[in-house]
Structure 1
């Protein structure tokens, strides 16, 4: 016998339009008992949505709708994850979007908006338009989603019956979007009053400033912003003037109380790049497009803080972010390369007219248009989104995002970045909401960021924050030291034991002169210090005392601890860098070494040198890590320095080891295409300068387009060599040229043309073992030699019946088998496909007779 309907199920779930079967299922649902295992629907009640029968035609997508291509292959599996049996009929159970994968997490249900878009939009490439099977599953999902709304209008995320802000805010956007698409298409019209009632109630909850999510200061700004967007959409959809007025009042409240004294948004009370730039900024653009001015003011403040907390690399590979100051997400880099399928920031470009410096962080219109053409011309299969990377907000924003700006406009914006516009300042800011100091020091030789203070306890949401200096950047070399926020050894300074970095909270004092001299400086006067000064901080949890002294041409870190220990220097290296230790040992990108009696080292990169000196000889280890970004052109390496209780380290920048009077000698280009067995589109292009005047940098061009910049260490007339990995090229010819650059001039290298002929997977051979006409048999696909595939598909009578990922180990053979069970008498036609990013190859058709 079904149990009573839980109080969390509202009346709207029981309307007649749900149908008798749905009503029975809903009534039987027990929302308070989460299953131990989550089984994807097997079509027991609702027919399964058909998977794609063929690869979509890229050229058929409008420019602004490329983003939907990556969602298209997952429509069927996502829809088929909607349960059509008890318990939890209608729940999207298979973890496509958010964690925890539990029926009380309403964030999972936001994908009704994604599925509804495909149901309601007629496109030549969209087979799910007006699809009955998809419609029925969306209806089941709506029944669960709306029924799980709590009596106060909110939804839960982490436990039953507990209101949570994120599912209510983001859910309101998803449901208003669902309503709009259903209404415009005339679909599921009986559900529209129920959706309207739900979003009216959730909007009322979101704008109720007596509730905890509006406490002051207001935490989780990004979630509140999303909630106001959803409430504003509700007000617009239903012409609710009273709700619109409340939304307006809420924007004003959030403008005042959702931004810290330092200028960043609260996440929850500290800073976070990902939640401010990637999540909140597009929603602030939504608010601005709705006619509110407060979102623009908030965005301007947040972007201004980001201009200090992110540095543009001199080779224009992208921005490196001050990860150590981010409270929630391990943000590392931001690159310009446009990817409209994955870019969650694109709608933020709508704010550029009001906030011109924002242009520095986005691709140009030419880059976007070029990427669109390249996407259309790509002969490879469309790669589906992976679970947890399927945010509905990506397609909502990307499909409406404007183009970028011109290159000159972006360059104008870049020129205003603080550390590029000036070579001398001390910018000091207090978070205000929690006891944190942000300090940004620009001197002629470097730029450095420092975070000092308390994280409001050793537990809770601030464990990612790393105290002390976090990012050291040189105007020609770029970032040379970079602290991350997601590993045990994320530190730059004292590190007595493995876990101690997660406990650091410091009491700090500032002084008018280096080495704690010249008297103390009040916090509100630190910004006036344009000369040499120092900052001292004490961590009582591990007994370490650190003094940072800032000079024009150097930075000194003094460490004193109660016991012998070690310090960590997290170097950020690039290919071509050379690290030379005081004993003459040389190490390069990706290498590791252990040394004794070391008094320092030199990092040489392009036209600059970082000299790091220890006050006394120490034992050190130099280890590479797996923290890699920017196409494997930035990798964190850890220098661990043992000490007896004190350590003074001086960081000084010098000019290049040699100043050339002649342009570089000419180099030659070569590739290793085909050296590993196939010319599969994955190869290295190598520049060799065999002898002569050396270069400080190389710029590599592919078919006339700049694709890589690599710094080099000059040791004329010794040989120079640098390799650039090229990956994922399709069949075709690729012409490579390069420039070698030093202070005296630029020369062209010899060129090389690479012919890619086997980027597509090798040809599969399909066989079966059914030689007796049995109902059960196995089909096996073999690719005996050649370029490997990443995915496999099997078709029965032209219907896709199996698809799975494969391990790519080119050029070794690949084999995959599918068991077929319970086939009735008849003749069955089978064919298989192997897919990778470059293309699809298919087997010959084979027939199986079942008696």
Structure 2
């Protein structure tokens, strides 16, 4: 059994700037290592619920074994504070875990996650990313059993080969691209150590295919066939970070740069910057899987539960070449202040760290050890400001822009006028949690004032008929500019100048028309019977709402003009620091209201 690390014998000064979260992991590592089963049929299984959900902490789940990377990190990392470096007891547990991992692999290279023999893409492709880094640590670290080492190398190759050749995994990858993309970095990490012509050929073939099969011409990576902010800002960002670390300076770098260029171009229309610099409100109603309303700037964390609250984008490594990513990452100057703050917090509480919350998803994550020797890059404040000025709704004050997918006729329309910016979403619903229609409303001085929330009927813009929000179903919209029809086509383009009108049916007998003029948005609803219009407003702590129809923020007022009564209801939902407050307009047969800023 491993003894606890004597953390009190060290000081924060012993930890480099990039290691300020490690006292947490050092303090709790013995519990994770000691949880490796050393006897019985599950010998080598990491039997403690600190990574993933407790109900999934089962021996058949290869995702649990991703924490082999934690075992390898402490065994192989020679630092003054690392009392576990080359420790014989840790070597036994690391070898047991590696042996167990090899043993739960299917003969064709796949791993399982949610049940014995339920081989899937996620368990297989994620394994290659984390094992790629593990093999790099073992390559330069103390020796382990050489025969076992060779088995691990072979198992990793087999997993990569399976990912690149099994048709079922290709099909899954087209719909869950964050899972498949783990193999980009996994393969490049493997090839960095073990040149392999066949594997290299398969990697390049799948990479080239992925430019169209995994990424919509609208710009997003497919998640359940649609866009998702959470998976890109989390897993995808990590996948590309690993891959670019190895591809940087090679011909392959251009593929990852092109993927990111397309995605950030798409993102720049869907994430609106708050004028005070606190973050970006997202066009969240279109998300197919996770729920993310706001993007905050990353700050250094001290491990454990704090990690999940530390922001979204840690480093925009590809920003050394691409400009748009610089708008979202922290600057060199902010990073330095952030590190100083994290060190001060560590010193103030030394040697105390947060408790290990067994049963909490991120309590002891292998991601804490994945990117430690990968490239980091931060823009200067000047570079960040220049990139921010390039954001389309900041760079231009008048345009109508449209993006359309080729796999499904989903249409994303973005309207910029001098006093407002809108994201409007239509087409077939791809996930039950999506909410279409008016997704975002933004003012250049006030910021986001309206935002549809994912998977809600009480905080998403739209028309409620008989208790059902119409915009949670397919929207077959017709587009016109100054009366002339506009036919959406796959890809991205600016539409002709003029007032945009969007019309779509409500149920079998109603209709809704939204007119985007130069100074206001007019919504007209026709439905035989009673209905309710829902407007999810974003109210900050200092904002005021007058007469239920005017939201004032600073010197800007959002006015909802209607002859009908308007009522407000607080929700428990938030977007950044703002509370979602729902405005309701009850009507019968017809309703017209106008949205404008003063």
Given the two structures, how large is their TM-score scaled by the length of structure 1?
0.64
Q: Does 1:496 align with 2:469?
A: no
**Structure 2, unpaired ranges of 5+:** none
- The alignment partner of 2:465 has SS state of coil
**Structure 1 segment 399-478 matched on structure 2, within 5 A:** 399-456=373-430, 462-478=431-447
The answer to whether the 8 A contact 1:282-1:345 is kept is no
Aligned to 1:202: 159
- Using the TM superposition, give the Cα deviation of residue 146 of structure 1 relative to its aligned residue in structure 2, in angstroms: 1.4
- Using the TM superposition, give the Cα deviation of residue 257 of structure 1 relative to its aligned residue in structure 2, in angstroms: 1.7
Q: Cα RMSD (Å) of the superposition?
A: 2.4
- 1:764-804 C-alpha deviation (Å, 9 max, x unpaired): xxxxxxxxxxxxxxxxxxxxxxxxxxxxxxxxxxxxxxxxx
For residue 511 of structure 2, the aligned residue among 532, 545, 548 is 545
The answer to whether the 8 A contact 2:69-2:131 is kept is yes
Change beyond 3 A, Cα 1:490–1:50: farther
Matches of 1:53 and 1:564 in 2, distance apart?
69
Number of aligned residue pairs: give it.
Answer: 574
The answer to whether the 8 A contact 1:483-1:491 is kept is yes
- 1:2-37 C-alpha deviation (Å, 9 max, x unpaired): xxxxxxxxxxxxxxxxxxxxxxxxxxxxxxxxxxxx
- Using the TM superposition, give the Cα deviation of residue 78 of structure 1 relative to its aligned residue in structure 2, in angstroms: 2.3
- The alignment partner of 2:386 has SS state of helix
Aligned to 2:521: 555
Matches of 2:154 and 2:298 in 1, distance apart?
42
For residue 263 of structure 2, the aligned residue among 302, 306, 311 is 302
Which stretch of the first structure deviates more once superposed, 287-296 or 349-358? 287-296
The answer to whether the 8 A contact 1:255-1:295 is kept is no
- 1:502-555 C-alpha deviation (Å, 9 max, x unpaired): 842221111234xxxx253322498423221210122438x6532111011111
**Structure 1 segment 667-686 matched on structure 2, within 5 A:** none
The answer to whether the 8 A contact 2:50-2:365 is kept is no
**Structure 1 segment 679-698 matched on structure 2, within 5 A:** none
Change beyond 3 A, Cα 1:328–1:394: farther
- The alignment partner of 1:278 has SS state of helix
Change beyond 3 A, Cα 1:499–1:540: closer
More strand by share: 1
Change beyond 3 A, Cα 1:231–1:623: same
- The alignment partner of 1:563 has SS state of strand
For residue 355 of structure 1, the aligned residue among 298, 306, 322 is 322
The answer to whether the 8 A contact 1:74-1:385 is kept is yes
Change beyond 3 A, Cα 1:423–1:521: same
For residue 361 of structure 2, the aligned residue among 350, 374, 388 is 388
Matches of 1:261 and 1:60 in 2, distance apart?
49
Aligned to 2:15: 61
Change beyond 3 A, Cα 1:198–1:646: same
- Using the TM superposition, give the Cα deviation of residue 385 of structure 1 relative to its aligned residue in structure 2, in angstroms: 6.5
Matches of 1:618 and 1:493 in 2, distance apart?
17
For residue 568 of structure 1, the aligned residue among 534, 547, 555 is 534
The answer to whether the 8 A contact 2:181-2:236 is kept is yes
Aligned to 1:643: 587
Aligned to 1:845: none
Matches of 1:80 and 1:186 in 2, distance apart?
20
For residue 146 of structure 1, the aligned residue among 102, 105, 122 is 102
Change beyond 3 A, Cα 1:563–1:109: farther
Aligned to 1:92: 46
**Structure 1, unpaired ranges of 5+:** 1-46, 457-461, 582-599, 655-851
- The alignment partner of 1:603 has SS state of strand
More helix by share: 2
The answer to whether the 8 A contact 1:535-1:549 is kept is yes
Change beyond 3 A, Cα 1:575–1:344: closer
- Using the TM superposition, give the Cα deviation of residue 164 of structure 1 relative to its aligned residue in structure 2, in angstroms: 1.1
- 1:254-285 C-alpha deviation (Å, 9 max, x unpaired): 12321101011111321112222332134223
Matches of 1:399 and 1:120 in 2, distance apart?
13
Matches of 2:484 and 2:477 in 1, distance apart?
14
Aligned to 1:533: 500
Aligned to 2:337: 370
Aligned to 1:168: 124
- Using the TM superposition, give the Cα deviation of residue 401 of structure 1 relative to its aligned residue in structure 2, in angstroms: 4.2
Matches of 1:174 and 1:344 in 2, distance apart?
22
Aligned to 1:122: 78
The answer to whether the 8 A contact 1:182-1:189 is kept is no
Larger Rg: 1
Matches of 1:312 and 1:117 in 2, distance apart?
38
Q: Does 1:618 align with 2:562?
A: no
- The alignment partner of 2:112 has SS state of coil
The answer to whether the 8 A contact 2:435-2:455 is kept is no
Matches of 2:85 and 2:95 in 1, distance apart?
15
Matches of 1:212 and 1:544 in 2, distance apart?
43
The answer to whether the 8 A contact 1:183-1:192 is kept is no
Matches of 1:647 and 1:51 in 2, distance apart?
68
Matches of 2:79 and 2:196 in 1, distance apart?
33
- Using the TM superposition, give the Cα deviation of residue 109 of structure 1 relative to its aligned residue in structure 2, in angstroms: 0.8
The structure with higher relative contact order (CA 8 Å, sep 6+) is 2
Which stretch of the first structure deviates more once superposed, 362-371 or 128-137? 128-137
- Using the TM superposition, give the Cα deviation of residue 557 of structure 1 relative to its aligned residue in structure 2, in angstroms: 1.9
Matches of 1:88 and 1:307 in 2, distance apart?
48
- 1:726-765 C-alpha deviation (Å, 9 max, x unpaired): xxxxxxxxxxxxxxxxxxxxxxxxxxxxxxxxxxxxxxxx
Given the two structures, how large is their TM-score scaled by the length of structure 2?
0.90
Change beyond 3 A, Cα 1:337–1:275: closer
The answer to whether the 8 A contact 2:121-2:172 is kept is no
Matches of 2:111 and 2:173 in 1, distance apart?
23
